[in-house]
């Protein structure tokens, strides 16, 4: 019998798991995919929003501002990158300037610190490559950027170190109430359930008879530019609309430039395709912000789905059973709010008679993963002398060593796919997009996890890269 089962291992489910790891109890996370951060949490704008765009007195406003303030200490504790680079909302006419004034007032009411409207000359000093027709901008120095899948993994690994169990490749298809507990798939017993299933959260809620919610997947397509195009130093927004914050331009933690997203409501919750129309829309719209973008430097396109259900976050016990807590419609600013959402769920559990008892031996922190690109020549030389595999470069574009990949496939919550390795090490994320290193990565996964090459997937299960050998043995050989 588990005390609490969390359904979903994205940034929200992992933030809840991280907080539960501080308390006594038997906790389990169920994830239908083969890794953490497999859906919305791996494909988004990677921005920690300031909180000025949320309606006053909304749950989004409360949790966005709180989450923003929690990130610096959390990133330091769990050793994932966070950079408070600030954001600018650009206005190009007087109507948009009025919108900036509204956002300034709204942000101040929400508790966002140090917001200001700056003029043309101040903007050009901060961002000399933006459109010279810009009039004013709303400057939010508290906004920042992270790597969302690395942050998710850090939260999940901290939870796992503190005895929270993760079970992957497990789709929840049935939930039954039996006496004082739930029975999941006629197999797993638990006293409480936290529904953090993202775009599928409405369907999970419906399994206990709570059919009040309809989650609409909102697709956002993106373009990622090569690292040679480091023209911008802040998150650059256009004036927002009811569909979102518009097409943005932002540097990433790893020094690429990200442009997007589109915002199109769709019906297929598995549709993560990109389209020629979407890409063209991004290019056309982004030019309003800057005509210095060189789209010949695009190295990949991708899309992600946001879970839209009304105008605010829905975080509440189900009307069907108050031991079942729904987290539904956690679209933007869900990433920015995640640490605060984790704490907020602890409050809801306490209010619903779950006794939170602090662990006597809680393990804080997380060891920083070794990245050879972050070492000095002297440090790297010493490392190779003791562990020579750090000197064998597998990914040339991102300079990732064999040992870094081995660490990713043998460590806590290991990568089991090529994309899982990519998210942990950046092997395959560079200019050639795995053209050179994917086979070597597959070989390392197969060797260290004792699997066949034909069993290695690109991303999700049932996405094989090779089907059968053309010659030789059927299983991987060293």
Note whether 334 and 389 are same-domain residues: no
If we measure between CA atoms, which residue out of 196, 205, 170 comes closest to residue 6? 196
CATH at 123: 3.30.9.10
Give the pLDDT band (50/70/90) at residue 279. very high
pLDDT tens for 4-60 read: 999 999 999 999 999 999 999 999 999 999 999 999 999 999 999 999 999 999 999
Note whether 315 and 415 are same-domain residues: no
Please give the structure tokens belonging to residue 78: 């769990």
CATH at 425: 1.10.10
Q: Which residues pair with 193 in a beta bridge?
A: 5, 324
How many distinct structural domains can be found in the chain?
A: 3
Report whether pLDDT(75) > 50.
yes
The residue from 368, 383, 403 where one domain ends is 368
> Is the pLDDT higher at 260 or at 245?
260
pLDDT tens for 296-349 read: 999 999 999 999 999 999 999 999 999 999 999 999 999 999 999 999 999 999
Give the pLDDT band (50/70/90) at residue 242. low
Is 77 contained in some domain?
A: yes
49 assigned to active site: yes
Distance (Å, whole) CA 433 – CA 430: 5
Note whether 220 and 327 are same-domain residues: no
Is 477 contained in some domain?
A: no
Q: Which residues pair with 47 in a beta bridge?
A: 145
Note whether 122 and 247 are same-domain residues: yes
Note whether 134 and 221 are same-domain residues: yes
pLDDT of residue 230: 86
pLDDT of residue 374: 96
Is 58 contained in some domain?
A: yes
pLDDT of residue 229: 79
pLDDT of residue 470: 79
Note whether 74 and 108 are same-domain residues: no
Note whether 283 and 422 are same-domain residues: no
Residues in the chain: 478
Distance (Å, whole) CA 364 – CA 157: 11
The residue from 339, 368, 397 where one domain ends is 368
pLDDT of residue 172: 99
With pLDDT > 70 as the criterion, what percentage of the chain qualifies? Answer: 97
Burial class of residue 158, CB neighbours in 10 A (0-12, 13-18, 19+): buried
Is 397 contained in some domain?
A: yes
Give the pLDDT band (50/70/90) at residue 478. very low
pLDDT tens for 141-165 read: 999 999 999 999 999 999 999 999 9
Please give the structure tokens belonging to residue 89: 């909302």
If we measure between CA atoms, which residue out of 143, 51, 136, 132 comes closest to residue 90? 136
Contact residues for 377 (Cβ-Cβ < 8 A; gap 6+): none
Is 462 contained in some domain?
A: no
Q: Which residues pair with 222 in a beta bridge?
A: 302
pTM: 0.96
Give the pLDDT band (50/70/90) at residue 211. very high
Write a three-state SS string for 240-282: CECCECCCEEEECCCCCEEEECCCEECCCCCCCCCCHHHHHHH
Beta-carbon count within 10 A of 34 CB = 18
Distance (Å, whole) CA 169 – CA 455: 15
The residue from 306, 325, 354 where one domain ends is 306
Quick one: average pLDDT of 379-384? 97
pLDDT tens for 79-132 read: 999 999 999 999 999 999 999 999 999 999 999 999 999 999 999 999 999 999
CATH at 321: 3.50.50.60
Note whether 92 and 57 are same-domain residues: no
pLDDT of residue 477: 47
Distance (Å, whole) CA 69 – CA 282: 31
pLDDT of residue 471: 76
pLDDT of residue 240: 83
Q: Which domain holds residue 106?
A: 87-141+216-306
Contact residues for 380 (Cβ-Cβ < 8 A; gap 6+): 372, 390
For tokens 């994830």, what's the residue? 31
Is 180 contained in some domain?
A: yes
Note whether 420 and 292 are same-domain residues: no
Is 363 contained in some domain?
A: yes
Note whether 131 and 256 are same-domain residues: yes
Note whether 56 and 157 are same-domain residues: yes
pLDDT of residue 472: 66
pLDDT tens for 172-203 read: 999 999 999 999 999 999 999 999 999 999 99
pLDDT tens for 441-455 read: 999 999 999 999 999
Note whether 7 and 108 are same-domain residues: no
pLDDT of residue 475: 53
* Catalytic residue chosen out of the listed positions 49, 234, 323, 476: 49
Per the prediction, the chain carries an average pLDDT of 96
Quick one: average pLDDT of 394-423? 98
With pLDDT > 90 as the criterion, what percentage of the chain qualifies? Answer: 95
Is 469 contained in some domain?
A: no
């Amino acid at each position: 019998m588990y005390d609490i089962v969390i359904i979903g291992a994205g940034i929200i489910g992992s933030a809840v798991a991280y907080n539960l790891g501080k308390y006594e109890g038997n906790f389990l996370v169920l994830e239908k995919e083969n890794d953490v951060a497999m859906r919305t949490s791996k494909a988004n704008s990677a921005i920690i929003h300031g909180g000025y765009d949320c309606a006053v007195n909304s749950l989004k406003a409360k949790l966005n501002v709180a989450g923003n303030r929690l990130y610096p200490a959390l990133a330091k504790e769990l050793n994932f990158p966070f950079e408070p680079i600030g954001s600018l909302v650009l206005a190009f006419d007087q109507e948009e300037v009025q919108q900036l004034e509204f956002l300034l007032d709204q942000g101040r009411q929400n508790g966002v610190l140090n917001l200001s409207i700056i003029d043309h000359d101040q903007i050009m000093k901060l961002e000399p490559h933006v459109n010279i027709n810009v009039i004013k901008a709303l400057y939010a120095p508290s906004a920042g950027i992270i790597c969302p899948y690395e942050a998710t993994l850090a939260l999940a690994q901290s939870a796992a170190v503190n005895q929270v169990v993760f079970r992957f490749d497990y789709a929840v298809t049935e939930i039954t109430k039996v006496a004082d507990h739930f029975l999941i798939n006629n197999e797993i017993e638990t006293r409480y359930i936290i529904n953090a299933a993202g775009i599928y959260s409405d369907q999970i809620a419906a399994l206990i008879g709570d059919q009040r919610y309809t989650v609409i997947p909102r697709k956002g397509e993106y373009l990622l530019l090569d690292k040679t195009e480091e023209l911008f130093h802040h998150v650059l927004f256009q004036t927002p609309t009811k569909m979102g914050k518009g097409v943005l331009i932002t540097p990433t933690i790893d020094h690429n430039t990200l442009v997007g997203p589109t915002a199109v409501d769709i019906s297929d919750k598995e549709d993560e395709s990109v389209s020629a129309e979407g890409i063209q829309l991004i290019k056309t719209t982004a030019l309003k912000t800057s005509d210095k973008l060189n789209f010949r430097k695009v190295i990949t396109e991708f899309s992600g789905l946001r879970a839209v259900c009304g105008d605010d976050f829905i975080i509440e016990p189900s009307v069907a059973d108050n031991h079942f807590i729904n987290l539904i419609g956690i679209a933007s600013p869900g990433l920015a709010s995640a640490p605060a959402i984790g704490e907020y769920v602890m409050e809801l559990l306490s209010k619903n008679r779950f006794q939170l008892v602090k662990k006597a031996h809680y393990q804080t922190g997380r060891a920083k993963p070794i990245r050879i690109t972050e070492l000095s020549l002297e440090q790297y030389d010493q490392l190779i002398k003791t562990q020579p595999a750090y000197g064998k470069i597998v990914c040339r574009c991102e300079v990732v060593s064999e040992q870094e990949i081995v660490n990713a496939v043998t460590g806590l919550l290991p990568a089991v796919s090529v994309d899982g390795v990519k998210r942990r090490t950046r092997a395959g994320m560079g200019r050639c997009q795995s053209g050179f290193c994917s086979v070597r990565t597959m070989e390392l996964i197969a060797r260290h996890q004792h699997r066949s090459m034909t069993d290695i997937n690109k991303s999700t299960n049932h996405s094989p890269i090779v089907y059968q050998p053309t010659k030789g043995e059927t299983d991987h050989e060293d």
